[in-house]
């Protein structure tokens, strides 16, 4: 059985919706309570049994790498004090996980960012988390649910979907497909569209920032031309594999907060604060 070992975090976007703060602080380093957004994504990957974290960054995002490294000065200043325990959570991650990084030299789209990671991933299936989609649930994490499904369909890519209001659909990739027999939440995808006008959308099933991708995706991405907004879109590449019957969409259990938007960050913060 194919096992997923690596989780890819494409985090080379500019986060323009958070300007001016993203001029010097990457969107992924904005806090939800006392942890940066990216840490929630890394913790989700760990909860799915993954310890190999591959990050596609750019030259302005050095703080992400620094965050997951020990900070000798702070540690020596607070050792033997009560506050030392505040660093335990992130130190635990640094000890347990291997982090690798590669630079996306130009912002050419999510598909291009994923293709850039090929040297970090190699010829194996892998998970992808877009950390600005912060997913919270009480049971198995969204990624753990997807890996379980992938293990039953090891030749297929898996995309996480949720129903969104028609008025929001233009922000997302949308799928059309057939329910897989005996299931209420798993579709074999026939077609996929990126950021459609809602009036043209076949369904309201929107793709969110969790994927399991087979290594076939790299060959497809290599030949994928820029699409919507002049970017190389992962949706266009997945559409090629969907035509071969190799993409499954999964309506996950849990709640997603769109932390690529100010509203989503406030909602996630408020939810986590009231449950802390
Ligand atoms: P977004 O569409 O949210 O773009 O990217 P963005 O640049 O991060 O933010 P805004 O829209 O300007 O506010 C979705 C995901 O794809 C990554 C982003 O880092 C984010 O995780 N991405 C996007 C890349 O890594 N490279 C790209 O060229 C584009």
Pocket test for ligand 1, best of 260, 261, 263 (most atoms within 8 A of CB): 260
DSSP letter (8 states) at residue 66: H
Q: How far apart are CA 208 and CA 213, in angstroms?
A: 14
Q: What is the value of pTM for the model shown?
A: 0.95
CA distance 123 to 118: 8
- Nearest of 181, 164, 196, 194 to residue 248 by alpha carbon: 181
Question: 14 alpha carbon to ligand 1 midpoint, in Å?
Answer: 6
Integer angstrom CA distances of residue 43 from 74, 144, 168: 23, 11, 28
Distances (CA, A) of 85 to 31, 88, 98, 125: 18, 5, 22, 36
Query: How far is ligand 1, taken at its centre, from the CA of residue 242, in Å?
Result: 23
Nearest-angstrom CA–CA distance, 192 and 244: 13
Q: What is the DSSP letter of 225?
A: P
CA distance 27 to 14: 8
**From CA 132, how far away is CA 257, in angstroms rounded?**
8
Ligand 1 atom, smallest distance to 9 CA: 21
Give the whole-angstrom CA distance, residue 131 versus residue 258. 9
* Rounded-to-integer distance, Cα 25 and Cα 235, Å: 28
- Report the candidate in 92, 258, 181 with the shortest Cα–Cα distance to residue 269: 258
Tell me, in angstroms, the distance from the centre of ligand 1 to residue 51's CA: 23
- Tens digit of each residue's pLDDT, the chain (276 residues): 558 999 999 999 999 999 999 999 999 999 999 999 999 999 999 999 999 999 999 999 999 999 999 888 888 888 888 888 888 888 899 999 999 999 999 999 999 999 999 999 999 999 999 999 999 998 999 999 999 999 999 999 999 999 999 989 999 999 999 999 888 899 999 999 988 888 888 999 999 999 999 999 999 999 999 988 899 999 999 999 999 999 999 999 999 999 999 999 999 999 999 998
124's tokens: 């194996």
Taking the C-alpha atoms of residue 243 and residue 158, their distance in angstroms, rounded to an integer, is 14
Cα 15 to ligand 1 centre (Å): 6
């Amino acid at each position: 059985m194919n096992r997923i070992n690596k989780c890819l975090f494409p985090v080379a976007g500019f986060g323009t919706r958070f300007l001016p703060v993203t001029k010097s602080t990457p969107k992924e380093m904005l806090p939800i309570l006392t942890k940066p957004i990216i840490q929630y994504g890394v913790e989700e990957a760990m909860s799915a049994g993954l310890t190999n974290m591959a990050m596609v960054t750019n030259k302005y995002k050095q703080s992400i790498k620094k965050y997951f490294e020990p900070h000798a000065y702070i540690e020596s200043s607070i050792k033997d004090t009560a506050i030392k325990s505040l660093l335990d959570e992130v130190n635990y991650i640094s000890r347990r996980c291997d982090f690798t990084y590669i630079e996306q030299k130009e912002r050419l789209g999510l598909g291009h960012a994923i293709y850039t990671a090929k040297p970090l991933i190699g010829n194996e299936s892998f998970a992808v988390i877009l950390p600005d989609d912060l997913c919270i649930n009480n049971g198995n994490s969204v990624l753990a649910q997807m890996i379980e499904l992938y293990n039953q369909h090891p030749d297929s890519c898996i995309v996480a979907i949720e129903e969104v209001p028609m008025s929001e659909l233009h922000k997302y990739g949308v799928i059309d497909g057939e329910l897989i027999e005996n299931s209420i939440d798993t579709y074999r995808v026939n077609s996929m569209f990126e950021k459609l006008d809602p009036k043209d959308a076949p369904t309201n099933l929107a793709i969110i920032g969790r994927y399991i991708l087979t290594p076939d995706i790299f060959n497809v991405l290599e030949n994928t031309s820029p699409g919507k907004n002049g970017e190389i879109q992962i949706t266009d590449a997945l559409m090629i594999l969907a035509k071969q019957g190799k993409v499954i969409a999964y309506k996950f259990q849990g709640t997603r907060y769109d932390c690529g938007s100010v509203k989503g960050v406030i909602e996630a913060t408020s939810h986590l604060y009231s449950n802390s």
